Amino acid sequence: MIIVNPTGCLEVTTTIYPYTSWGVPYIHVAFENAGAVASGIEAAIKALNKNGLLKRNTRVIAIAGDGGTYDIGLQALSGMLERGHGVLYVLYDNEAYMNTGIQRSGGTPKFAKTTTMPAGTVIRGKIQKKKDIMSIVMAHHIPYAATANVAYPPIDLVNKVRKALSYLEEGPAFIHVLAPCPPGWGGFPDEKMIEIARLATETGYFPLYEWDRDRLIINPPSDMYMDKRLRKPLREFVKAQSRWSHVTDEEIKELEKDIEDFLNYLWRLSIGSGVPTPYA
Ligand SMILES: Cc1ncc(C[n+]2csc(CCOP(=O)(O)OP(=O)(O)O)c2C)c(N)n1
Ligand SMILES: [Mg+2]
């Protein structure tokens, strides 16, 4: 495999000169062009294979942050998806530009405070909702897209990566992974990171689902949490983090309503897929 990684926390923590954590070919690219560079590498591998100069099926995996994907890299990503390059693109979403000091991104959720959207009495943190990046990706009708969460590595995340790689002959695959940033989200020690990540799914805030050849499948345990009664209260997730320490009960209700609406939207998409969700 060849890894393509734009600037961000993953790059700064794994490539500190003169060391590297990568045991495979790795290319560091600019913030905005992971999709374009990955496309070029994939096309080159195809051409070399065709000419008999390479006799291997080398896979190309791009791994980029939310800033590099929702915002500055979106055009390059869309081009890659639209041209149908057989690349796995992994978005690790820590919900802000963390490497440069917690600036808001399109992936930052509503009311979360960042250094560029601090919370006061008038502005309550981020004004806008988190961008629905999965729907944007799904609109390209690529063979495979999925959400995943670092709290569920086996079986869910690992299986999704395997499945995504097995689809690359057909075209691009995309995995959107929620990855909490303890210093950026604040209010909990590093060792609670996985617990916080799990709460994101248990409260319905970050549901797990797959877009598998144009069918939407809601995955366990999210399928269970489609039933409001089985979801954990959103407050448990929100109040554990200092980025939301200022939010009022009314504001939590507003966030809950957005979750309810989004889960209903997912449910409606999944109905047509022929894979019924048990608890909706
Ligand atoms: C064109 C450009 N603008 C700004 C930067 C500075 N910069 C480097 S990393 C980064 C934030 C990356 O955010 P994200 O993609 O979410 O990754 P994270 O740091 O959160 O892992 C910024 C703004 C840059 N490298 N290039
Ligand atoms: Mg980020």
pLDDT tens column, 146-169: 999 999 998 899 999 999 999 999
> Which residue lies with its CA nearest to atom 11 of ligand 1?
97
Give, using CA atoms, the residue closest to atom 6 of ligand 1.
100
What is the distance in A from the centroid of ligand 2 to the CA of 96? 4
Non-local (6+) Cβ contacts of 73 within 8 A are 6, 31, 32, 33, 34, 35, 64
- Mean pLDDT value of segment 16-36: 96
Atom of ligand 1 nearest to the CA of 107: 16
Residues 34-51: tens digit of each pLDDT: 999 999 999 999 999 999
Rounded distance, CA 267 to CA 189, Å?
Answer: 35
pTM across the whole model: 0.96
How far is ligand 1, taken at its centre, from the CA of residue 102, in Å? 10
Check residue 56 and give its pLDDT: 83
Ligand 1 closest atom vs CA 105: 16
Please tell me the distance between residue 113's alpha carbon and the centre of ligand 2 in angstroms: 14
CATH number belonging to domain 2-271: 3.40.50.970
Write the CA distances from 193 to 46, 94, 149, 204, 220, integer angstroms: 40, 11, 11, 17, 21
Atom 26 (ligand 1) nearest CA = 31
User: Which ligand has the minimum distance to the alpha carbon of residue 94?
Assistant: 2
Mean pLDDT is lowest, of 176-180, 208-212, 270-274, for 270-274
Ligand 1 site residues (CB inside 6 A) read 7-10, 31-32, 65-68, 94, 97-100, 105
Rounded to the nearest angstrom, the distance between the alpha carbon of 239 and the centre of ligand 1 is 27
Residues 193 and 173 sit within 8 Å (Cβ to Cβ): no
Ligand nearest to the CA of 71: 1
The backbone torsions φ and ψ at residue 160, rounded to the nearest 5 degrees and listed phi first, read -65, -40
Opening angle at CA 56, ends 50 and 61, nearest 5: 100
